[in-house]
Structure 1
Amino acid sequence: MSESKSEQRQWENAAAGAIAGFATVAAMHPLDVVRTRFQVNDGRVSNLPSYKNTAHAILTIARLEGLRGLYAGFSPAVLGSTLSWGLYFFFYGRAKQRYSKNGEEKLSPGLHVASAAEAGALVCLCTNPVWLVKTRLQLQTPLHQTRPYSGLYDALRTIMTEEGWTALYKGIVPGLFLVSHGAVQFTAYEELRKAIVDYKNKKRKQNPDSVDNILNSVDYAILGGSSKVAAILLTYPFQVIRARLQQRPSSDGIPRYMDSWHVVKETFRFEGFRGFYKGITPNLLKNVPASSITFIVYENVLNFLRMGRNHS
C-alpha cells in the first residue's frame, strides 16, 4: 500500500469516528448525566438529590432543572466524544497499520490489544481536561452553594484560577486504567467480527478476503453492543473512581477525595463492592445502544468513503 493511500485511510478512520461519536452523544446525553450523578453519590454528605432509579432520576432532573439539567455538560460531552472517537480511530488505525507492516501481515489478538491500548492512552492524555469539565457541569444542581460554571470556557478558566492547571488532570490515573476498556471492546469487536465474517463466508462459499459487503448494519449493531457489554463489566469501577476524583472541591477548597487509593478505601469502607458499580444501569442503557449506533455509523461512513475513493 502506498504512503498516500495509507494516510488517506487513516483520515477516513478519523472522520468516520468523529461523525459516529457526535451522533451517539446527541442521542444519549441525559443518561450520561444520570450515570455521573449516581457514580459520585456515596450516600454521605452530598449536594446531589437522591434518586431511586434511572427513570426516577430522569423525571426528577427534568422536573427540577428542566432540559438544561438533562443536557448539563453537553458542550464538553460533544467536544470530548467527537475528539475521542476521531483521535481513537485515527491512532488505532495508525497503530494497526504499523504493527501489520502496512497491511502486509495479519494482526494477532495481542497486537489488536496493543493497538487499542496505545490509542486509548494517547486519547486520554489529550482529552482529560474536557471530561473533567463535563463531569463538573453535570454535577451542578440548584443545591450547590459555590458559584456555578456558566459553560465550558468559564469552567476551564475558573479551574485554572482556583486550582491551577494540574487540576485539569484530576482522574488521569483511573483514566489511563480505563484504556483497558477500549482494549477489551476493540479486541472483542475485531474477534467477533472475524468470526461472523468467517461464518458468512462459509455459508455463502465466498472468498474470505472479500469482506466489504458481507456485514450489514444489524451485524455492526450486534458487534458494537456485545463488545461494549464485555468492556463495561470489566472496567466500570475505574469510571466511578475517576468521577469521584473529578468532583469540584467544596467552598473551602478541600477536595472530597485526595487520590485514587483514597477513593478505593473510602468507597469499599462505606459502600462495599457495590459502590464501585453505582450508576451501571444508566451506563449500560446509554452505552450499549450508543456503541451499536457508533459502529453502524462508523462502518457505513467508512464504506461510503472507500467507495468514493475507489470510484475516483
Structure 2
Amino acid sequence: MAELSAQMGEKQYVASFLSGCFAGVCSTCATNPLDTIRVRLSASRSATGRPHKSLTYTIRDLLESGLAHAFSRGLAANLMASLPSNGIYLSTYRYLQNQLYYAEVEECVRPAISACGAVSVTNMTLAPLFLLRTRVQVDDSLTIRQAFTDVMRRDGFLGFYRGTMTNILGRFVEEGLFWSIYELLKRLVAEGSFQASGSFLLTSAAVLSLTMVSKVIATAVSYPYNVVITHLRTVNRITGRPEYSKIWPTVRHIYQADGWAGFYKGLMPQLLRSTISKSVQIYAYEVAMYAYFRFCCGPAQGAPLKISGEGNSFSGTS
C-alpha cells in the first residue's frame, strides 16, 4: 500500500511538472510582446542604444521591423526559459505545500514559504536562461547563440548568474505576496477549485479574477527590483561590457538618472503582462491538473489533497 501510494505521488508530481510546462508555453505566447516592451523600458539607454523615454516610443520602435518581428522578438529565448521554469516552479510549489501541510505548518504562512522555496530552486537552476532571454530582448541584433558566446568569453560560467541574488530576493517579495493573497482570497470566497466546484465556468471566472487581483497588488509593490535586475543583466551596446555589477551602485545610478520614477519605468506594460501571464499560467495549470485527476486517475486516486483549507485545493497544490 505504501509503495502504491508513493508511485501515485510520483506520477502526480510528474503530471504537475508537465502541467507547469504547458502553462508556461500558454502564458509566454500570450504576453511575449509586452515582456519585450517592459524589458526595453526598464533597461538603461546604453544597453538599448535608444532613448526609450515612453511606452508609445518603445512600441513604435519595436514595430518598425514589422508586426511579426515585434511579436516574435525574443520568443524562442522566452519559451526556452519559461517552459522549464514554470514546470519546476509550479511542481516545486505543489511539493512544498504538501510537505508543509503534513508538517502542520500554519496555513497562513504556507504559501509564502512554498513560494520562496520554489523561487530559489527555479532561479538557481535556470538563471543562465533568464540572462540570455534578457540580452536577446534588449538587443535586436543579438541571437541566443551570440549572447551565450559573449557571456562565456567575457565573464565565464559565473557570468550567467549575474544579478541572480537580486532576482531571487525580488521574487521572494512578489511571489510570496501573490500566493499569500491568492490563497487568502480563495478561502474567503470559497471558490477557485475545480475539484470542489460543480460549475466549470464559475470556477474559471473565480480563478482568473482572483489571480488578477493578487498579481496586480504583488507586482505594484515589488516592481523596482525588475528595473535593477534588468540593469545588472544587460551590457553597454557600444563596449559590450556590463556597466552595473553591484546592487547599491546600480540603485544609486537609477535614482540619479531618473529619480524615484526610474524604479517604475515599464510598470504599466509589466502590470498588463504579468497579470495576463499569471492568469493564463494559473488557469492553464489548474485545468491541466484537473484533467489529469479526472481522466488519468480512478475515483479513489483522483481526489487531490485539500491543503488550503476546507473545500479549497489548488489542484492538489494549495
TM-score when normalising by structure 2: 0.84
Match of 2:153 among 139, 158, 161: 161
Q: 1:46 to 1:253 in 2, by over 3 A?
A: closer
1:55 to 1:293, Cα distance in 2 relative to 1, 3 A: farther
2:212 aligns with: 225
1:39, distance to aligned residue in structure 2 (A)? 0.2
For 1:83-98, what aligned pairs fall within 5 Å after superposition? 83-98=84-99
Equivalent residue number for residue 196 of structure 1: 189
Q: Sort the Cα spacing of 1:262 and 1:213 in 2 relative to 1 into closer, same or farther, 3 A.
A: farther
- DSSP 3-state at the match of 2:296: helix
Match of 2:55 in 1: 54
Name the CA distance, whole Å, in 2 between partners of 1:35 and 1:80. Answer: 17
1:241 aligns with 2:228: yes
Letter in 2 for 1:15: L
Q: C-alpha displacement at 1:173, in angstroms?
A: 1.9
Work out whether residues 39 and 137 of structure 2, in 8 Å CA contact, stay in contact via their aligned partners in 1.
Answer: yes
SS of aligned partner of 2:51: coil
Q: Partner amino acid for 1:129? A: P
Structure 1 distance, partners of 2:10, 2:183, is: 22
Which residue does 2:74 correspond to in 1?
Answer: 73
Match of 1:18 among 18, 21, 31: 21
Letter in 1 for 2:185: L
Query: Displacement, 1:311?
Result: 3.8
Whole-Å separation in 2 of the counterparts to 1:154 and 1:57? 24
Which residue type is aligned with residue 145 of structure 2?
A: Y
Whether 2:277 is the aligned partner of 1:290: answer: yes
Deviation of 1:59 after TM superposition, in Å, equals: 2.8
Task: Give the Cα–Cα distance (whole angstroms) in 1 for the partners of residues 295 and 69 of structure 2.
Answer: 40
Letter in 2 for 1:19: F
Between 60-69 and 113-122, report the one with greater CA deviation.
60-69
- Rate the CA distance shift 1:136–1:256 in 2: closer, same or farther, 3 A: same
**What 5-or-longer segments of structure 1 have no aligned partner?**
142-147, 201-207
* Rounded Cα–Cα distance in structure 1 between residues aligned with 2:144 and 2:181: 34
CA–CA separation in structure 2 for the residues paired with 1:177 and 1:65: 37
SS at match of 1:243: helix
Pairing of 1:27-46 with structure 2 (within 5 A): 27-41=30-44, 45=46
Equivalent position of 2:129 in the other structure: 130
Question: Which secondary structure does the structure 2 equivalent of 1:255 belong to?
Answer: coil
Letter in 1 for 2:285: Y
What amino acid is aligned across from residue 138 of structure 1 in structure 2? Q
The alpha carbon displacement at 1:168 in A equals 0.5
2: CA distance between counterparts of 1:131 and 1:21?
14
TM-aligned CA deviation for residue 239 of structure 1? 0.9
Q: Deviations over 1:4-43 (max 9, x none)?
A: 222222222222221111111112111111110100136x
Deviation at 1:224, TM superposition (A): 1.4
Matches within 5 A, 1:249-260: 249=236, 251-252=238-239, 254-260=241-247
Aligned-partner SS, 1:257? coil
Using the alignment, how far apart are the partners of 1:182 and 1:6 within structure 2?
25
Alignment of 1:309 with 2:310, yes or no, is: no
Amino acid at match of 1:18: C
What secondary structure is seen at the aligned counterpart in 2 of 1:269?
A: helix
Matched-pair contact (CA < 8 Å) for 2:20–2:87 = yes
**Sequence identity percentage:** 22
Report the equivalent of 1:176: 168
Tell me the TM-score normalized by structure 1. Answer: 0.85
Matches within 5 A, 1:261-280: 261-280=248-267
1:161 CA displacement: 1.7
Contact 1:73/1:133 (<8 A) preserved: no
Q: 1:85 to 1:265 in 2, by over 3 A?
A: same
The C-alpha deviation readout for 1:39-76, integer Å capped at 9, x for no partner, is: 0136xx56433345434422321124653344322112
Q: Size of the alignment, in residue pairs? A: 293
1:114 aligns with 2:101: no
Partner of 2:316: none
Q: Deviating runs (4+, > 6 A) in structure 1? A: none
Distance 1:19 1:3, change over 3 A: same
Counterpart-to-counterpart distance in 2, 1:230 and 1:221 = 15
* Amino acid across the alignment from 1:111: R
